[in-house]
Amino acid sequence: MDPAASQDDFIPAGLAAFGIEADEIELAVINAAHQLFWPPILELLSIDTSAVPVERNPDLSQAPPSR
Amino acid sequence: MSEALDLPLRAQAQAIAAGEADAAELLEATLQRIEERNPALNAIVETFPTHSREMLASAPQGSLHGVPVVIKDEWPLPWRAQRFGAADMLANPEPGESAPYRALRDAGAVIVGVGNMHELGASSTGNVSVYGPARNPWNPERCPGGSSSGPASAVAARLVAGAVGADGVGSIRYPAAYCGLTGLKPTFGRSAMAGHHMAELSTTIVSGALCADAADCRLLDSVLFGEELQAGKPPALRIGVIRDEPAEDVAPAVREACEAAIEDLREATGGEVREVELPELAAATLATVLIANSESLGSITPERLNSLDPELSPLGRGLLKYRVLLPAVATIKAQQLRTLARHTLAKVFEGVDVIAWPTVPAVAPPLEAPMVELPSGTLTADEANVRGGALANLTGIPAISVPVGSSDGLPIGLQLQAAWGRDELLLDAAEALEQANGRRWVEAVPPPARGAETLEA
Q: Is B193 in a helix, a strand, or coil? A: coil
A3 pLDDT band, cuts 50/70/90, is low
**B384: in domain:** yes
Q: Among B26-30, B127-131, B326-330, which is the least confidently predicted range?
A: B326-330
Cβ-nearest to A21 among B187, B306, B336: B306
pLDDT in tens, B154-175: 999 999 999 999 999 999 999 9
pLDDT in tens, B389-441: 999 999 999 999 999 999 999 999 999 999 999 999 999 999 999 999 999 99
pLDDT in tens, B319-360: 999 999 999 999 999 999 999 999 999 999 999 999 999 999
ipTM, two decimals, is 0.91
Q: Residue B386 belongs to a domain with what CATH number?
A: 3.90.1300.10
Q: Is the pLDDT of residue B297 over 90?
A: no
CB atoms within 10 A of CB B216: 24
Given this model, what pLDDT does residue A67 score? 66
Cβ distance B268 to B436 under 8 Å?
yes
Given this model, what pLDDT does residue B270 score? 98
Q: Report chain A residues whose CB lies below 8 A from the CB of B317.
A: 26, 29
Amino acid identity for residue B265 in this structure: L
> Could A60 and B421 be called an inter-chain contact, meaning their C-beta atoms sit closer than 8 Å?
no
The mean pLDDT of A39-48, rounded to a whole number, is 92
Q: Distance between CA B31 and CA B16 in Å, rounded?
A: 17
* Closest to B85 in 3D by CA, of B316, B308, B426: B316
| Cα dist from B1 to B6, B21, B24, B53, B179, whole Å | 10, 11, 12, 17, 25
Whole-prediction pTM: 0.96
Q: Distance between CA B83 and CA B422 in Å, rounded?
A: 32
Name the minimum distance, in Å, from the CA of B327 to any CA of chain A: 9
E-only strand ranges, B102-170: 110-115, 162-167
Q: Which helix (H) or strand (E) holds B349?
A: helix B328-351
**B43: in domain:** yes
Catalytic-labelled residue, pool B52, B147, B149, B294: B147
> Could B322 and A33 be called an inter-chain contact, meaning their C-beta atoms sit closer than 8 Å?
yes
Q: Is the pLDDT of residue B31 over 80?
A: yes
The mean pLDDT of B353-378, rounded to a whole number, is 98
**B294: in domain:** no
Q: Is the pLDDT of residue B304 over 50?
A: yes
Please give the full DSSP string across B107-121, using - where no structure is assigned: TT-EEEEEE---GGG
- Could you list the residue range(s) of the whole structural domain that residue B411 is in? 2-285+326-450
Residue of B nearest to A35 (CA): B322
**B41: in domain:** yes
pLDDT in tens, B39-80: 999 999 999 999 999 999 999 999 999 999 999 999 999 999
> Could A52 and B340 be called an inter-chain contact, meaning their C-beta atoms sit closer than 8 Å?
yes
Long-range contacts of the stretch B232-235 (C-beta < 8 A, 24+): B232/B424, B232/B428, B233/B428, B233/B432, B234/B269, B234/B353, B234/B425, B234/B428, B234/B429, B234/B432, B235/B269, B235/B271, B235/B353
Residue B139's region, left for phi above 0, alpha for psi from -120 to 50, else beta, is beta
CB atoms within 10 A of CB B309: 13
Q: Distance between CA B187 and CA B101 in Å, rounded?
A: 20
Report yes or no: A52 at the B interface, CB cutoff 8 Å: yes
Report yes or no: A39 at the B interface, CB cutoff 8 Å: no
Q: Which residue has the higher pLDDT, B455 or B357?
A: B357
Given this model, what pLDDT does residue B456 score? 40
Q: Is the pLDDT of residue A55 over 90?
A: no
A8 pLDDT band, cuts 50/70/90, is confident
Given this model, what pLDDT does residue A57 score? 84
**B162: in domain:** yes
Report yes or no: B307 at the A interface, CB cutoff 8 Å: no
Q: Distance between CA B399 and CA B357 in Å, rounded?
A: 11
Report yes or no: A17 at the B interface, CB cutoff 8 Å: no
Q: Is the pLDDT of residue A12 over 50?
A: yes
Phi, psi of B318 (to 5 degrees): -65, -45
Q: A interface mutation test: which of B207, B325, B339, B383 has the most A CBs within 10 A? A: B325
**B176: in domain:** yes
Q: Give the pairing type, strands B354-358 and B238-241.
A: parallel
Q: Report chain A residues whose CB lies below 8 A from the CB of B290.
A: 41, 44
Q: Is A34 in a helix, a strand, or coil? A: helix
B272-275, strands of its sheet edge to edge: B44-47, B110-115, B68-72, B162-167, B206-211, B182-185, B399-407, B410-418, B354-358, B238-241, B272-275
DSSP category for residue B258 = H
> Could B283 and A44 be called an inter-chain contact, meaning their C-beta atoms sit closer than 8 Å?
yes
Number of domains chain B is built from:
1
Q: Report chain A residues whose CB lies below 8 A from the CB of B188.
A: 60-61
Given this model, what pLDDT does residue B457 score? 34
Q: Is the pLDDT of residue B287 over 80?
A: yes
| Cα dist from B33 to B68, B73, B143, B158, B331, whole Å | 12, 20, 22, 9, 46
Given this model, what pLDDT does residue A4 score? 54
Report yes or no: A38 at the B interface, CB cutoff 8 Å: no
Q: Is the pLDDT of residue B1 over 70?
A: no
**B380: in domain:** yes
E-only strand ranges, B254-353: 272-275
Give burial (CB, 10 Å; 0-12/13-18/19+) of B182: buried
CB atoms within 10 A of CB B369: 10
Instruction: Express as a percent the part of chain B with pLDDT over 90.
Output: 94
Cβ-nearest to B324 among A20, A54, A64: A20
Q: Is B397 in a helix, a strand, or coil? A: coil
Residues 6+ apart with CB under 8 A from A31: A7, A11
Report yes or no: A54 at the B interface, CB cutoff 8 Å: yes
Given this model, what pLDDT does residue A66 score? 80
> Could A60 and B336 be called an inter-chain contact, meaning their C-beta atoms sit closer than 8 Å?
no
User: Does residue B72 have an active-site annotation?
Assistant: yes
**B10: in domain:** yes
The mean pLDDT of A46-50, rounded to a whole number, is 88
